[in-house]
């Protein structure tokens, strides 16, 4: 669904600006009007790291007028493999200072605002309020929740990206127009269940792939071009050279943007800690193990906890549909034999982690599909639906 431009156009371009942005001006979807909107826009980049570094360079080159950079870290030699805004001689400098210099080298007309601090519950709302759109380049779950929550409460779009190893994901969370991060990832993963970039490694160029797509979404939002990635998740698998787009929907039970919000002021979320939820996390099952069990003599009941529109696009054959709302209010009981073997899945594993706890607490021998239908599709396993095959 197309959306109106996020930012009103500023004054007419100068001759020098016309020359600099000539390749934008010839694009019908941007043109002089769009370039004036970009120059009037204020974009906050959270993190001047793997995603933030290339994002800053492209935002500057695109002529975004004001770029804010939030980071409290200093440049380390181990950053240089992917954090392309920083140079060898910047090692030891604050990342905001190094990134501000990089932006100035690309485009001295851009105003850079350095926020040399960590995004926290007590400063996030003020930071987000000063900008039109936020690019989330955070490398930890706690900051991602804060960015999403602050944006949801301020009604601003959160252009989120994530990279790990050879895989990348991105979406635009925008409460009021589509789901927020919590709708899809309702709680941080249990401690130790998810590898971080520090332990798993990351292909440097993957950061560039995802960051460039994030900036593309920012430009689309500011200029009102195309169809923003609201309510959709892009999953890029570099080793398989494949990209999939999954539909996502708002969770009416979301604690931040749902019908009856329970989180109404910003709170810190621990990176990997377990929030107050029922039960223990259900054990994970891999997509390959599940595929073998479904073909075997005693297949488990596979429960898809996503919404109908997500299932219509792609579903695993034979799965039973019990959306999260029914899992939460207990109305699923008639659909599942007590004590039966159950596997729950969602898009990427966020919602199913919660569903797994609830069903385990209710006495089911439940397991949680690791990575959801996104991992299933990455493994080239078949799906049924509009985008199946």
> Among the candidate windows 66-74, 104-112, 114-122, 246-254, which touches Zn ion by CB under 5 A?
246-254
Distance of alpha carbon 258 from alpha carbon 6, whole angstroms? 23
- Smaller CB separation from Zn ion, 153 or 343: 153
- Smaller CB separation from Zn ion, 58 or 173: 173
Total residues in contact with Zn ion, by rule CB under 5 A: 6
CB of 152 to Zn ion, least distance (A): 6
3-state secondary structure of 300: coil
210, 263 Cβ separation under 8 angstroms: no
182 binds Zn ion, rule: CB under 5 A = yes
In the bound state, the residue with its beta carbon closest to Zn ion is 254
How many angstroms separate the first and last alpha carbons of the chain?
A: 25
CB of 261 to Zn ion, least distance (A): 9
Q: Judge whether 346 counts as a catalytic residue.
A: yes
- Smaller CB separation from Zn ion, 49 or 231: 231
Cβ neighbours of 9 (radius 10 Å):
17
Sign of CA dihedral 178, 128, 6, 214: negative
- Smaller CB separation from Zn ion, 185 or 332: 185
* Of residues 91, 83, 88, the one with CA closest to residue 45: 83
Q: Figure out which of the listed residues 84, 99, 138, 183 binds Zn ion, where binding follows CB under 5 A.
A: 183
> Among the candidate windows 248-256, 284-292, 345-353, 375-383, which touches Zn ion by CB under 5 A?
248-256
Distance of alpha carbon 356 from alpha carbon 261, whole angstroms? 22
CB of 174 to Zn ion, least distance (A): 10
69, 112 Cβ separation under 8 angstroms: yes
Sign of CA dihedral 300, 305, 306, 307: positive
Q: Judge whether 151 counts as a catalytic residue.
A: no
Instruction: Select which of 180, 207, 257, 346 is catalytic.
Output: 346
> Among the candidate windows 99-107, 159-167, 180-188, 192-200, which touches Zn ion by CB under 5 A?
180-188
Q: How far is CA 123 from the centre of its chain?
A: 21
Instruction: Select which of 151, 180, 197, 272 is catalytic.
Output: 197
> Among the candidate windows 109-117, 131-139, 179-187, 190-198, which touches Zn ion by CB under 5 A?
179-187
- SS3 labels along 216-285: HHHHHHHHCCCCCCECEEEEEECCCCEEEEEECCCCCCCCCCCCCCCCCCCCCCCCCCCCCCCCCCCCEE
Q: Figure out which of the listed residues 112, 254, 285, 301 binds Zn ion, where binding follows CB under 5 A.
A: 254
- Smaller CB separation from Zn ion, 65 or 258: 258
* Cβ-Cβ contacts under 8 Å for 313 (sequence gap 6 or more): 246, 247, 385, 386, 387
Q: Figure out which of the listed residues 257, 269, 305, 355 binds Zn ion, where binding follows CB under 5 A.
A: 257
Known catalytic residues?
A: 197, 346
Binding site for Zn ion (CB under 5 A): 180, 182-183, 254, 256-257
């Amino acid at each position: 669904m197309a959306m109106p431009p996020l930012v009103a156009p500023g004054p007419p371009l100068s001759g020098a600006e016309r020359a600099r942005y000539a390749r934008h001006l010839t694009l019908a979807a941007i043109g002089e009007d769009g370039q004036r909107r970009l120059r009037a826009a204020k974009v906050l980049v959270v993190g001047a790291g793997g995603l933030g570094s290339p994002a800053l360079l492209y935002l500057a080159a695109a002529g975004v007028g004001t770029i804010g950079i939030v980071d409290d870290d200093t440049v380390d030699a181990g950053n240089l493999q992917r954090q392309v805004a920083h140079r060898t001689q910047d090692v030891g400098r604050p990342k905001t200072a190094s990134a501000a210099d990089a932006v100035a080298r690309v485009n001295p007309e851009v105003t850079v605002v350095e926020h040399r601090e960590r995004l926290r519950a007590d400063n996030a709302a003020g930071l987000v309020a000063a900008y039109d759109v936020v690019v989330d380049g955070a490398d930890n779950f706690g900051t991602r929740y804060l960015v999403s929550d602050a944006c949801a409460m301020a009604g601003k779009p959160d252009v989120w990206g994530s990279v790990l190893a050879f895989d990348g994901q991105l979406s635009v969370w925008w409460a009021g127009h589509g789901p927020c991060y919590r709708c899809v990832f309702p709680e941080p993963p249990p401690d130790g269940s998810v590898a971080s970039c520090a332990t798993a490694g990351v292909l440097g160029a993957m950061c560039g792939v995802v960051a460039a797509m994030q900036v593309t979404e920012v430009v689309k939002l500011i200029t009102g071009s195309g169809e923003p990635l609201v309510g959709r998740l892009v999953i890029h698998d570099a080793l398989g050279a494949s990209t999939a787009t999954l539909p996502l929907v708002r969770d009416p039970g979301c604690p931040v943007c749902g019908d009856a919000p329970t989180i109404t002021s910003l709170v810190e979320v621990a990176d990997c800690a377990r929030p107050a939820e029922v039960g223990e996390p259900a054990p994970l099952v891999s997509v390959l193990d599940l595929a073998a069990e479904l073909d075997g003599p005693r297949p488990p009941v596979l429960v898809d906890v996503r919404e109908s529109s997500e299932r219509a696009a792609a579903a695993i054959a034979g799965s039973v549909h019990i959306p999260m709302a029914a899992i939460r209010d207990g109305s699923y009981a008639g659909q599942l034999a007590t004590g039966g073997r159950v596997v729950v899945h969602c898009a990427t594993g966020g919602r199913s982690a919660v569903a797994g706890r609830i069903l385990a607490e209710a006495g089911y021998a439940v397991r949680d599909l690791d990575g959801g239908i996104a991992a299933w599709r990455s493994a080239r396993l078949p799906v049924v639906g509009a985008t199946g095959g």
